[in-house]
């Protein structure tokens, strides 16, 4: 458990084997971006995506702390309180994946319908 989730969170460093270096990677990202604030001492970085954004919790904020977010793509750059807790973060990630997959399936189905229509038009011309 904690070593993967199939297609969920693919491309993200968030599973057990990724956790040890995440804080260092997050600090390096902040330094590369000349971010003026240090990562809080009690920050536990648990998720990084493609090296340009990360999420963390502050362990000193209780048993169900909010989830913070940083992305070098944001302007202005800041630590943003993104989710009220880890459960909300995970639900959001699942919803994003479900919507992405549904959109992908719809596009595939549409492309198949287009091919069938195109194929029947060519057959009727013969």
3-state secondary structure 52-74: CEEEEEEHHHCCCCCEEEEECCC
* pLDDT tens digits, 102-119: 666 677 777 776 565 555
Number of domains in the chain: 1
Query: Mean pLDDT throughout 3-32?
Result: 77
Sequence length of the chain is 126
Inside any domain, residue 5? no
| Model confidence, pTM | 0.73
Inside any domain, residue 2? no
Inside any domain, residue 95? yes
Query: Mean pLDDT throughout 24-39?
Result: 96
Within 8 A by CB and 6+ apart from 38, the residues are 27, 30
Percent of all residues in the chain with a pLDDT value above 90, rounded to a whole number: 49
Give the distance from CA 24 to its chain's centroid: 19
Inside any domain, residue 7? no
Inside any domain, residue 17? yes
Inside any domain, residue 25? yes
What is the C-alpha separation between 78 and 105, in angstroms, rounded?
35
C-beta separation of 45 from 21 below 8 A: no
- Domain span at residue 44? 12-125
What are the two backbone dihedrals, phi and then psi, of residue 23, each rounded to the nearest 5 degrees?
A: -60, -45
Please state, as a whole number, how many other Cβ atoms lie within 10 Å of the Cβ of residue 71: 17
The radius of gyration of the chain's CA atoms, rounded to the nearest angstrom, is 21
* pLDDT tens digits, 68-97: 999 999 988 899 999 999 999 999 888 888
């Amino acid at each position: 458990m904690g070593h993967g989730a199939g297609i969920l969170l693919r491309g993200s460093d968030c599973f057990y084997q990724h956790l040890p270096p995440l804080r260092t990677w997050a600090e390096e990202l902040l330094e590369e971006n000349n971010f003026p604030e240090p990562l809080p001492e009690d920050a536990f970085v648990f998720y990084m995506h493609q090296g340009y954004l990360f999420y963390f919790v502050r362990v000193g904020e209780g048993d169900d702390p909010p989830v913070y977010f940083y992305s070098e793509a944001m302007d202005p750059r800041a630590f943003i309180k993104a989710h009220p807790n880890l459960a909300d973060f995970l639900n959001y990630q699942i919803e994003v994946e479900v919507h992405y997959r549904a959109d992908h399936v719809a596009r595939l189905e549409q492309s198949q319908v287009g091919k069938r229509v195109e194929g029947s038009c060519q057959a009727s011309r013969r």
